[in-house]
Structure 1
Amino acid sequence: MRGRMEYENVVELMEQGVEQGNFVGCLTNLFKDIVMAIEENDEILRGLCGEDGVVYAICELQEECDSRGSLILKKYMEFRKLARLASDINNSPNLNLLAGGASEGPDPREVELYVEEILSLMQLGEDYTEFMVSKIKSLTSVDAELLPRATKAFRNGSFSKVIQDVTGFYVILEGFFMIENVRKAIRIDEHVPDSLTTSMVDDVFYVLQSCLRRAISTSKISSVIAVLSNAGSLLANDYHEALQQKIREPNLGARLFLGGIGCIKTMVDLKPNLAY
Structure 2
Amino acid sequence: MLNSIKSVLLASLLVLSDMSVGRSESRNLSPTNTIGDILRHPAFSGYAPRVLPWDDRRYDEDMTLNGLQKLLPYHSAVDVQTVLGGLNRIIDDVAGGHQVFYDIYSDEEKRADPTKQNTGLFFFRGKPGAPFAIVSPGGGFAYVGSVHEGFRDARTAHYRDLGARYLLLSETTLRLPVLKDLKRMWMHRQVEGEHPQMAELRQCLRRATYPATIESLVRSMPINGIFTHSRTEGRSSARHVTECNPVFSAVMQMAIRGELDVDLANSLSPSTIVTRRNAAHA
**TM-score (normalizing by structure 1):** 0.22
Structure whose residues are more often helix by fraction: 1
TM-score, normalised to structure 2, is: 0.22
Higher strand share: 2
- In our comparison, the structure showing a higher alpha carbon Rg is 2
